[in-house]
Amino acid sequence: MITINDAYEIATSEVSIPADAILTYSNLLSGRYVFEWKHQSEYSYSETDRILIWIDPVTGEVFKKDVKWSTLKQPDISLLNTHISAIHNITIIEYRKIAKKAYFTYSGEPLSDYYWIGEDEYTRYLIDNYGNIVGEMIPKPTNNGYSASGYIQKDKDVCWNVSFYTNYFEEWCDGDVYESCGPSKDSFVNTLSDESTVFYQITAHGSFSISLLNHDIAIRPADIDSALESRSPMPFAHLDHCDAMDRVGDGTFEYAYRKGSDTNAVVIGLAHTTDESWVLYLNYWRDCFYNDLDDDKDTSIKTIYDDCVASYPDMDGHLGFTGDETLTINKIITMYYPLCDFTVSEI
């Protein structure tokens, strides 16, 4: 087995590393050496540029190389002093080329490529060259963001857009689609208790032990235990609340959805979510994961999960997987056909 230093020498001989590239990841991950560089200058940073290289730790072979690199636009620094730095209570991070799936403008106008990025204790903001706050990051589904909020904001009955998941689930079987926005506990439990619900995803403010269905109603692992009491474990459960996989095992959501089983059930979820990992997740990681699941339904879900974490190594430590490491999408479809429904809860 070659050393990580040897692997680094191979990686840097394979690609000419630009002067404004910053090495952000260098480690053995899921059976391969992974190196990733990001694009950063003194005042600018790109959320979309990167160089990724995988090295076989036994042979030293380069078996993945992904280079996305652009000319990084530099800001007019005079604007920082005259307009932008005068915004009170917001810390200016830098000038960024943004990954657009993680942001929105207040006006509804299309996003530009570059903004000054500012943040406070609540969120991250998009700021134009004249110091106007014109948008912000789509809120993370965190247990710390909003008190007693099952929706994105406590004063609005607005849910996350979950069509990303339903589009894939509809391709995987012919059952019904259930989407719920701020459901009652009874309707939520009734849907889960149906044996034909086999693909399940939830986006909600919550943690590994509590999740908010709407403004007033929370669920806990014991509620999932009750919902699944008379049925088999949920074959595929995807948990999008920020601390869903911070803890695993008895007394947690992941354990409840798979009923403690390591056979024919998997759980994937967010863990230790930060602003940076949320942006990466929304723009790249989940696309990698679901595209690959759809393209190769006979490859194990765990293998695809590992490959996508290695493809976006900054997600290492911000996601979790438990359950059957041999389970595939086709096996789930085969086991439950024609009983093959799916649920996406946009909470």
Residue 204's pLDDT is what? Answer: 83
The neighbouring-strand residues paired with 33 are: 28, 55
Residue 192's pLDDT is what? Answer: 85
Residue 170's pLDDT is what? Answer: 80
Are 31 and 21 within 8 A, CB to CB? no
Question: Domain boundary at 68, 88, 120, which?
Answer: 68
Residue 37's pLDDT is what? Answer: 97
CATH of the domain at 167: 3.40.50
> How far apart are alpha carbons 120 and 103 in whole angstroms?
16
CATH of the domain at 18: 3.10.450
Whether residues 212 and 92 fall in one domain:
no
Residue 321's pLDDT is what? Answer: 98
Nearest to 310 by CA among 29, 53, 4: 29
The neighbouring-strand residues paired with 52 are: 36, 66
Regions in the chain scoring below 70 on pLDDT: 80-86, 88, 141-161, 174-179, 182, 215, 337-347
Residue 159's pLDDT is what? Answer: 63
Are 105 and 117 within 8 A, CB to CB? no
Are 208 and 254 within 8 A, CB to CB? yes
pTM for the predicted model, two decimal places: 0.83
| Domain membership flag for residue 156 | no
| Domain membership flag for residue 27 | yes
* Containing structural domain, residue 331: 163-346
Whether residues 45 and 88 fall in one domain:
no
The two structure tokens encoding residue 310: 């290695």
Question: Computed over its alpha carbons, how large is the radius of gyration of the chain?
Answer: 22
Give residue 222's Cα distance to chain centre: 25
Q: How many CB atoms lie within 10 A of CB 140?
A: 24
> DSSP readout, 54-119?
EE-TTT--EEEEEEE--PPPPP-HHHHHHTGGG-TT-EEEEEEE--GGGEEETT-PPPPSEEEEEE
| Domain membership flag for residue 311 | yes
> How far apart are alpha carbons 143 and 147 in whole angstroms?
8
Q: Mind listing the pLDDT tens digit for each residue in 18-27?
A: 999 999 999 9
Whether residues 198 and 299 fall in one domain:
yes
Count how many domains the chain has: 3
The two structure tokens encoding residue 159: 């849910």
Residue 164's pLDDT is what? Answer: 83
> How far apart are alpha carbons 293 and 329 in whole angstroms?
7
